[in-house]
Amino acid sequence: MESSAPKQQTLAEFLAPKKSLRIWQIILAALLSLMILGTVYEFTKPKPDAVQMSTALDSSTYSYVDITLLSPWLLKVTGDSDYTLYEAMDAEGNWFLVTLDDAKAAELSALQDAYNASSSADPQTFVLPEPVRLTGVTHTTDLDDADRIAQMYDNETQSSILAFYGSNYLAAGEDNRDGGAYGYILGALLVACFLIIVSVGTSSQRKNYRKSEQRLYELGKLEEAEAEFSSPESIRFEKSKLVLSKQFVFCGASGWILPYGDIGWVYQRVQRSYGIPIGKQIITGLVDGKTAAIANKAVNDQLLTDAARTIYTANPDCLIGYSFENIKLYKQRVKEYKQSHPK
H-type helices in 85-142, by residue range?
102-107, 109-118
Contact in structure between 98 and 85 (CB atoms under 8 Å): yes
* 261 touches 315 (CB < 8 A): yes
Distance CA 188, CA 210 (A): 32
Q: Strands 62-70, 51-52: parallel, antiparallel or unpaired by DSSP? A: parallel
Which one-letter amino acid corresponds to residue 300?
N
Q: What does the pLDDT average to over 33-60?
A: 80
In whole angstroms, what is the distance from residue 148 CA to residue 143 CA? 9
Contacts of residue 198, defined as CB under 8 A and 6 or more positions apart, other chains included, come to 21, 24, 25, 28
Task: Write down the mean pLDDT value for the chain.
Answer: 86
Residue 270 is classified by DSSP as E
Q: Which long-range contacts (CB under 8 A, 24 or more apart) does 285-289 make?
A: 285/319, 285/330, 285/334, 286/258, 286/262, 287/261, 287/262, 287/263, 287/333, 287/334, 287/337, 288/262, 288/334, 288/337, 288/338, 288/341, 289/334, 289/337, 289/338
Low-confidence winner among 49-53, 94-98, 135-139 (lowest mean pLDDT)? 49-53
First and final C-alpha spacing in the chain: 40
pLDDT in tens, 55-93: 778 888 999 999 999 999 999 988 888 899 999 999 899
Higher per-residue pLDDT: 166 or 47: 166
pTM given for the model: 0.54
Instruction: Return d(Cα 128, Cα 115) in angstroms, integer.
Output: 9
Cα separation, 256 vs 248, whole angstroms: 10
